[in-house]
Structure formats: C-alpha cells, structure tokens
C-alpha cells in the first residue's frame, strides 16, 4: 500500500533535519545560531541544495566549526547522507547523534522520520530496525503513522500476524482509516485469518471517501476480498465484491478476471464470457489479459460451443506469439546502455528544474516513448529499480563533479602551488575511473533486472501458448472421435 | 507430467534469474556507497586544502549575511567594498531571502587582507517600510592582525523605531 510515500518521506526527512538543525527561527524553542559556517550549510539546505549543504557541512566539521560538530550537525549530516543514498553511514550517524538527544519525543520522532525515509528508498529491513529504536508511544497522528509504517513493513517481510496485531487497535484520522483497514485486511488474509480479513476489507468499501486515490484503494480492497472469496469457493460473495470494482482503474483487469471465475464457479459460463471477453480485448502485455485469452475458450467449451472455443484457442496462440516476438525485439533494446541513459535523461526533465542529485527523484510520470519502456513500466516504477536509477544519477553527477575538480586543481597547481596538489590530482583521477566503472556496473544491473523481467514474461507467455495449443488439440481430437449424428458407433 | 516438469523448471529458471538480478543490485548499492563515501571525503579534503592554500588563516576575511524575519525590509541586493574596492555583490532571489529569514547565513565573500587596519562597507538595497525603495549602508573598521576574521552583516528588525537596522560586526 502506498499513500504518496515519496511526499511523506520527503516531509519526514525535512522534519528530521529541521528538528536536528534547530536553527529555524520560526520553530519553537529553536537553538540560536552559534556558527556562521553552519549557517551557510543551512543556507543551501533550506534551498533544497542538498549536495552543496552536504559538502559544506563535511568541510565545516573538518575545520572544527563548533555547531557543525555537535549533535545538531551530526543529525543534519546523517539526514543529508541519507538523501544522497548513503544509507549505512546515515544510520550510523543517526544512532550516534540521537544518543545525545535527551528529549524522548524528539528522539522518537527522528527515528520515525528516518524509518519512513529508509522505506522510501527500499531499505526495508533497516527501516524496521529504525522503528525498534522508538521507546515510547508518539503523539496521536505520529503514533498512527508509526503503526501504519510498521504494519506495511511487516507485511512486506511476510510477518502477517505481527502486522495484524500492530493495526488491531489503530487509531488515526478518518482519512487514514481506510488505509489502515486495507492493510489490516490484507495482513489477516495472508495470515490465513480469512473471515477477519474479509470483515476489514468490507469496511473499506463502506467508506465514503471520494478522492481518486481512495477510490483506487476501495477497488483494491474489493479485488482482494473477491479473490479471498474465490479461494474459499464462495462464488456469489466473490461476484458481489468484484462487481463493485470500477471498470476503468488500476484494479479493473484483475477484477474482471476474478469476476469471470466467480461466474464460472456458479456454472454461469455464458455470463463468465462477458468480463473475460472484455478483458481479452485489452493490452496483451497485462498478465490478467494473458490469462483471459485462455479463459475465454475454456468458458466457450463449457458452454457447449467447441468450434468457437477451438477458434479462440488459436486466437490466443497467435496473440501470445505476437507478444513473444515483440518481447524478443525488446531484449536487444534493453541490452544497450542507452536504455538506462534515456531514463536518466527523462528523470532530469521531470518536475521543477532542480537537479540536485542529493534529492530523491519522483517516480517517472512519463516514460520515454518506446515499446521497451511501456512493456517494463511496472518494473521501472518499482522501488528497487528507482533506487538503482537514483544511484546511477548520483554517480553520473559525481563523475562530472570530479571533472570540475580536476580542472580547478590544474589551475590551483600554478596559481597556488602546494606539494599536496599532485597527490590530490592522483586521487581525483583514480576515483573518476572508479566512478565510471561503477556507473557502468549500475547501468548493467538495471539492464539485467529489465532482461530478467522480459525473460520471465516471455516464459510465461510460452507456457500459456502451450496450454492454448493443448486446449485446442483436445477439442479438435474430441470432435474428430465423437460419433457423427445419426451414424451407429 | 513431462510438460508439468518442464514448466516447473522454466519457472524456477525465471525465479533464479530474478533472484540473481536482485542480489547483484544489492552488491552494486553496497559498493556504490563505499565509492561515494570516498568521493565525498575527497571533496572535503580538496575544499579544506583549497581554503588553506588560497585563504590562509592570518589573512583570511570571510563575510556572512544574516537577517531577522525581515519585517521592515525586503533585501534585493548587497554590495561589499573592502578598503574602497568592491569585492562582492549579490542579487537575491526569493528562495535565498527565505533561507536567510529562516535563520541561515550566506557566505557572501571570502578573501585576504594584509595585517593592519581595514574598512568594510556594505550597501543594502531593497524595499523598505511602506513599500518604498530603500538603500542603506553599514560600515565596519576592523584589525587584521590576530588571525582569521569572520564578519556578520545583519538586516535586523528595529521594533522600537519600526525601521530596519543594518549592522556589521566581527564574530568572536
């Protein structure tokens, strides 16, 4: 479940670092600025120039400026390192910095914000570990936030009973209630506590929230409910739940597939054809559509229309073949470095003009217009892939940054000679090469993920195609051996 | 049964490929963090070395800009002269003044001054009370003979007179 996680995590990190900075004049009880150099760090931080803030802060600490080196500075450093993808160093910094934070509410709040930021970066075990540091209930909304995040992480880790326990007494705002019920319902279903889970998901449907995100949540709840009923062979209940899902929406394909199975379970095979044929007319790239291509002839055969069924099996074979051929072509596109470079270029153009690589980039709203990106849209939007793209972007930025230093040092060697410049030049060259190699490795890792996804998809399509061929062969075989009308056997 | 086995093997192969890709991604992330740490440390060392080389402590002069909440003055630009010579000027964006109002300080200038007496003059331009164009100056006489000098230029809110106050001082 997601609830605009990027926005929440960014807000949480800001809260974390602002609480750490303590220099915000508008914040109650803010500490006065004692260090002009630390103030300069904040000058860049408050303008979302995270990389500049980070490098200035590291320099200020090395030059022993006081406020940069105390607990505030340490926590701000940890927050900036986190935003630059330095998860391990950030966590160590938080653990050390928060030891001296004597105010338990501030400390616990900081751990919550860190956990959310880690979750947004797909560092989920670390996020759970951060939540364990919270040693007292937080204030109202924050406590509800903590419970929700804990449950999400536990569900992701397959610890369903624990997730359900976390949410059983959840008390949060009305806007969040549906999300809590959905998460609790899913956790209970996956823990095998079906009746309890179904009860929670039914409640999600009864909420009257209308915003698009909440309607999408209601669709997901009804889809999960419908599939739970299908598994229990409660066909009528499944049909009722799945009929509530909107025909156009992120859950519609899954719901149409399930609705067909509910009708089929009730032995209403002609009725099953309605959702399945609608689904079969949609994009073959979708998994539910691929299954519908087999389901349609299955229903036709059961409805005593073998000839039509055999024809539909052949349609399925051909559509699978087209999709497989299309994917085969995409493999070559994904293998080129340009596959990742175009994604990086697209991410640079999104949102506002700020390209501070220290800041997280939002998931891609508009992919490059090419078939390989359309086919892999779900993978590209996934947290793991996005984390890899962020890393590639940072590495590309650092490579450029080092090139800038190389030029500066070349000038400084003549204008401000020092015995140290040669050694630094060598370091710059060595790390530039290392950065180039790492960028290539990151690019390659992303390409491998994309190739693995294409392989999985292709494999599945071949399996379905085999099923379709067998289905058609069975029908043709049956019609060939059936006695002709009026003839004696 | 053979067909089922073939399907299972294919499914397993697909899962293994995905698991390998995920493990590779984790290793890349780990190694990237190590490399980025080295680069950040190099950047820090280069900045420190550049600072020490270009602006050694005995002659270093750094000028910072700070603001109160800006109740009576919207800062638009600032010019600095050191011993009659212009050394820095800056035109402020809304984001920059917002950062200053939040309590940050801007390092506007860093340079060198020989030992002895010096004069700093700062000219602030902006919009004053009642929305009128406003220009004021602040000056500071300081002695560069006891190590680096960090000077703060501040736009204060003079509550008593309902007027902005412009000050310059050396931080201890």
Quick one: A257 and A355 in the same domain?
Answer: no
Establish how many alpha carbons lie within 13 A of residue B55's alpha carbon, considering only the half-sphere containing its beta carbon: 16
Task: Look up the domain containing A73 and give its range.
Answer: 5-280
Q: Per the domain annotation, does A153 fall within a domain?
A: yes
Whether residue A91 contacts residue A126, with contact meaning beta carbons closer than 8 Å, is answered with yes
Is the pLDDT score of B3 beyond 80? no
pLDDT band at B9 (very low <50, low <70, confident <90, very high): low
A370 DSSP assignment: S
Quick one: A218 and A103 in the same domain?
Answer: yes
Quick one: A54 and A203 in the same domain?
Answer: yes
Q: Per the domain annotation, does A252 fall within a domain?
A: yes
Q: What is the pLDDT of residue A95?
A: 87
Alpha helices in B55-116 (DSSP H): 94-101
The count of domains in chain A is: 2
CATH number attached to the domain at B57-170: 2.60.40
CATH number of the domain that A128 lies in? 1.25.40.10
Q: Per the domain annotation, does A452 fall within a domain?
A: yes
Quick one: A349 and A265 in the same domain?
Answer: no
pLDDT band at A454 (very low <50, low <70, confident <90, very high): very high
pLDDT band at A172 (very low <50, low <70, confident <90, very high): confident
Mean pLDDT confidence for A368-383: 88
Q: Closest residue of B to A43, CA-based?
A: B104
If contacts are CB pairs under 8 Å, which of residues 25-54 in chain A contact chain B? Answer: 25-26, 30, 33, 36-37, 39-40, 42-47, 54
Mean pLDDT confidence for B21-50: 93
pLDDT band at A11 (very low <50, low <70, confident <90, very high): very low
Q: State whether ipTM is beyond 0.90.
A: yes
Q: What is the pLDDT of residue B82?
A: 97
Mean pLDDT confidence for B113-141: 94
The answer to whether the Cβ–Cβ distance between A43 and B96 falls below 8 Å is: yes
Report the gap between the CA of A385 and the closest CA in chain B (Å): 9
Q: Per the domain annotation, does A427 fall within a domain?
A: yes
pLDDT band at B167 (very low <50, low <70, confident <90, very high): very high
Q: What angle do CA A279, A287, A452 make, to 5 degrees?
A: 160
Any CB–CB contact under 8 A between A324 and chain B?
A: no
User: Which of A60, A63, A66, A79 has its CA nearest to residue A20?
Assistant: A79
Residues of B in contact with A388 (CB under 8 A): 25, 28-29
pLDDT band at A100 (very low <50, low <70, confident <90, very high): confident
Of A40, A395, A460, the CB nearest to B105: A40
Final residue of a domain: which of A258, A280, A302?
A280
A484 vs A385, residue with greater confidence: A385
Beta bridge partners, B167, equal B154
pLDDT band at B111 (very low <50, low <70, confident <90, very high): very high
Question: Which pLDDT tens digit goes with each residue over A63-92?
Answer: 999 999 988 899 899 999 998 999 999 999
Mean pLDDT confidence for A187-216: 83
Any CB–CB contact under 8 A between A419 and chain B?
A: no
Q: What is the pLDDT of residue A488?
A: 41
Is the pLDDT score of A4 beyond 90? no
Asked whether the whole model's pTM tops 0.90, one would answer: no
* Torsion sign (Cα): A182, A184, A186, A189: negative
Residues of A in contact with B3 (CB under 8 A): 466, 470
Q: Per the domain annotation, does A356 fall within a domain?
A: yes
Q: What is the pLDDT of residue B125?
A: 96
Q: Which of A19, A32, A40 to mutate to test the interface with B (most CBs of B within 10 A)?
A: A40
Whether residue A225 contacts residue A196, with contact meaning beta carbons closer than 8 Å, is answered with no
Sheet of B149-158: strands edge to edge? Answer: B106-112, B60-67, B149-158, B163-170
Is the pLDDT score of A145 beyond 80? yes
Final residue of a domain: which of A246, A264, A280?
A280
Alpha helices in chain B (DSSP H): 2-54, 94-101
Quick one: A253 and A365 in the same domain?
Answer: no
Mean pLDDT confidence for B59-66: 97
Question: Which pLDDT tens digit goes with each residue over A34-54?
Answer: 899 999 999 999 999 999 999
Residues of A in contact with B75 (CB under 8 A): none
Of A40, A55, A427, the CB nearest to B106: A40
Look over chain A and give the mean of its residue pLDDT values, rounded to a whole number.
86
Final residue of a domain: which of A238, A260, A280?
A280
Establish how many alpha carbons lie within 13 A of residue A395's alpha carbon, considering only the half-sphere containing its beta carbon: 28
Quick one: A216 and A357 in the same domain?
Answer: no
Least confident of A195-209, A403-417, B154-168: A195-209
Q: Per the domain annotation, does A287 fall within a domain?
A: no
Quick one: A267 and A121 in the same domain?
Answer: yes
CA distances (Å), origin A193, targets A160, A179, A182, A189, A198 = 10, 19, 14, 5, 9
Q: What is the pLDDT of residue B4?
A: 46
């Amino acid at each position: 479940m997601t609830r605009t996680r990027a926005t929440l995590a960014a807000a949480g990190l800001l809260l974390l670092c602002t609480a750490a900075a303590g220099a915000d004049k508008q914040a109650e009880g803010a500490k006065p600025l004692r260090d002009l150099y630390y103030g300069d760090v904040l000058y860049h931080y408050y303008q979302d120039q995270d990389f500049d803030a980070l490098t200035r802060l590291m320099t200020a600490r090395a030059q022993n400026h006081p406020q940069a080196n105390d607990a505030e500075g340490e926590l701000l450093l940890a927050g900036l390192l986190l935003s630059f993808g330095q998860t391990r160093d950030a966590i160590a910094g938080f653990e050390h910095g928060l030891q001296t934070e004597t105010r338990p509410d501030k400390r616990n709040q900081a751990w919550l914000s860190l956990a959310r930021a880690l979750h947004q970066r797909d560092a989920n075990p670390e996020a759970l570990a951060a939540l364990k540091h919270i040693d007292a209930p937080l204030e109202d909304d924050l406590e509800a936030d903590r419970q929700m995040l804990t449950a999400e992480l536990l569900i992701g880790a397959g610890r369903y009973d624990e997730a359900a326990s976390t949410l059983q007494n959840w008390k949060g705002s009305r806007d969040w209630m549906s999300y809590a019920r959905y998460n609790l319902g899913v956790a209970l279903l996956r823990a095998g506590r079906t009746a309890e889970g179904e009860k929670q998901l039914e409640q999600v449907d009864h909420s009257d929230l209308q915003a698009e995100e909440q309607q999408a949540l209601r669709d997901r709840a009804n889809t999960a409910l419908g599939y739970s009923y299908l598994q229990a062979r409660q066909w009528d209940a499944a049909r009722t739940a799945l009929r509530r899902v909107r025909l156009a929406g992120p859950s519609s394909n899954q719901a149409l597939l399930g609705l067909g199975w509910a009708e089929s379970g009730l032995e209403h095979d002609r009725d099953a054809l309605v959702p399945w044929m609608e689904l079969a007319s949609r994009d073959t790239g979708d998994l539910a559509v691929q299954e519908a291509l087999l389901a349609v002839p299955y229903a036709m055969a059961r409805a005593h229309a073998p000839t039509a069924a055999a024809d539909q099996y052949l349609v399925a074979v051909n559509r699978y073949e087209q999709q497989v051929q299309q994917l085969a072509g995409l493999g070559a596109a994904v293998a080129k470095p340009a596959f990742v470079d175009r994604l990086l270029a697209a991410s640079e153009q999104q949102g506002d003009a700020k390209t501070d690589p220290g800041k997280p980039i939002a998931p891609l709203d508009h992919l490059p217009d090419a078939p390989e990106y359309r086919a892999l849209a779900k993978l590209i939007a996934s947290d793991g892939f996005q984390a890899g793209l962020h890393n590639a972007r940072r590495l590309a930025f650092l490579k450029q940054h080092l090139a800038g230093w190389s030029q500066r040092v070349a000038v400084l060697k003549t204008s401000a000679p020092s015995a140290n410049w040669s050694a630094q030049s060598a370091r710059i060259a060595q790390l530039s090469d290392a950065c180039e190699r790492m960028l290539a490795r990151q690019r390659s890792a992303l390409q491998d993920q994309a190739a693995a996804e294409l392989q999985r998809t292709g494999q599945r399509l071949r399996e379905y195609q085999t099923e379709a061929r067998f289905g058609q062969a069975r029908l043709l075989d049956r019609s060939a051996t059936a006695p002709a009308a009026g003839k004696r056997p | 049964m053979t067909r089922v086995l073939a399907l299972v093997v294919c499914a397993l192969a697909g899962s293994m490929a995905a698991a390998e890709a995920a493990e590779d991604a984790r290793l890349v992330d780990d190694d990237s963090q190590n490399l980025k740490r080295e680069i950040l440390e190099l950047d820090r060392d280069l900045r420190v070395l550049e600072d020490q080389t270009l602006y050694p402590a005995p002659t270093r002069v750094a000028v910072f800009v700070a603001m109160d909440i800006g109740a009576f003055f919207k800062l638009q630009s600032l010019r600095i002269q050191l011993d009659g010579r212009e050394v820095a000027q800056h035109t402020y964006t809304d984001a920059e003044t917002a950062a200053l109002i939040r309590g940050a300080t801007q390092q506007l200038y860093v340079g060198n001054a020989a030992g002895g007496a010096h004069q700093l003059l700062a000219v602030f331009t902006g919009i004053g009370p009642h929305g009128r164009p406003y220009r004021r100056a602040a000056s500071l006489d300081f002695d560069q003979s006891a190590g680096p000098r960090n000077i703060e230029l501040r736009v204060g809110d003079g509550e008593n007179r309902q007027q902005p106050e412009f000050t310059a001082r050396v931080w201890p």
